[in-house]
Amino acid sequence: MAVIIFALLGLVIVAGTIGAYFWLGGFASSLSHQTTDLANFGSYVGGVAGPLLSFLALVAVVWTVRLQYELLERDRQRQLADQHVRWLDALYRDMQEILHAPLVTTAPQPSVTSLRAVLDKETDMMAIEPALFKGRLTELMELLGQYSEAVALYRDNITAYFDLKVFADRGARILDRIKPFHSTLGNMSPITIEFCDMHLRGDRSRKAAEALTRNTRR
């Protein structure tokens, strides 16, 4: 489309230059065959249309460079988005592995369960060795912190719509499962949970802590 526009502009410049020469009386008659008149006409066209066409060519070059820059910028944004998505997917897979990894109960009789079953309250937390449960939960919380930060970076650098909502919802569901067990993680866990909640919900700042009083998932 741009090529057609510049071609039409070039034709307009040439036609306008020739038309102006006739209109201003460059030829004594409608069309002169005198050598002097033809020489003057050639000088006029070269002197007027030449610079205008050169300027048009320069504008076309600038336009082409601008289009190339936009294409490169779009490609860079796409590559950056792909990198963020791979990072988020990798962290989410790691969290799922921890959630579904075998976890042995000690009471009332040995059996195999998972951290997710405990967080979903399908298995009693008291049936799990406390140190083992804390270790698994701490590892999950650390990954969730990285995941929440990655969501915030995706929101700032890529987009705040569409697939971001999917990523944020994934993290929010896991965070809501962890909240009832935050005391197992230690005294600093409310702060960590608050930051994760802010990243997932897109909040820049808060006047007071609120993550533990409601669900993170919208």
Share of the chain above pLDDT 90, in %: 47
Share of the chain above pLDDT 70, in %: 72
- Tokens (6 digits) for 139: 């590892």
In the prediction, which pLDDT does 164 show?
Answer: 86
Identify the residue with better confidence: 65 or 86. Answer: 86
Task: Give the number of other Cβ atoms within 10 Å of residue 203's Cβ.
Answer: 14
Q: Which phi and psi (to 5°) does residue 114 adopt?
A: -145, 160
Question: pLDDT for 20-35, tens place per residue?
Answer: 555 555 545 555 555 6
Omega into 110 within 30° of 0, i.e. cis? no
Please tell me the pTM assigned to this model: 0.70
Strand partners, 105: 111, 128
Q: What average pLDDT score do residues 37-61 get? A: 62
Q: Closest by alpha carbon to 209, among 170, 166, 179? A: 179
Q: Closest by alpha carbon to 149, among 112, 108, 104, 202? A: 202
The mean-pLDDT minimum among 28-37, 55-64, 190-199, 200-209 falls in 28-37
pLDDT grade for 79, boundaries at 50, 70 and 90: confident
Question: pLDDT for 95-107, tens place per residue?
Answer: 999 999 999 888 7
Asked if residue 152 has pLDDT above 70, the reply is: yes
pLDDT grade for 43, boundaries at 50, 70 and 90: low
Taking the C-alpha atoms of residue 113 and residue 162, their distance in angstroms, rounded to an integer, is: 35
* Degrees to nearest 5, angle at CA 90 with 87 and 95: 125
In the prediction, which pLDDT does 97 show?
Answer: 97
CB 218 within 8 A of CB 176: no
Asked if residue 198 has pLDDT above 90, the reply is: yes
What single string gives the DSSP state of each residue in the chain? -HHHHHHHHHHHHHHHHHHHHHHTT-SSSSS---HHHHHHHHHHHHHHHHHHHHHHHHHHHHHHHHHHHHHHHHHHHHHHHHHHHHHHHHHHHHHHHHHHSEEEE-SSS-EEEEHHHHHTTSS-GGGB-HHHHHHHHHHHHHHHHHHHHHHHHHHHHT-SSTHHHHHHHHHHHHHHHHGGGGGGG-TTHHHHHHHHHHHHHT-S--SS--GGGS-S--
In the prediction, which pLDDT does 27 show?
Answer: 47
Quote the mean pLDDT of the chain: 82
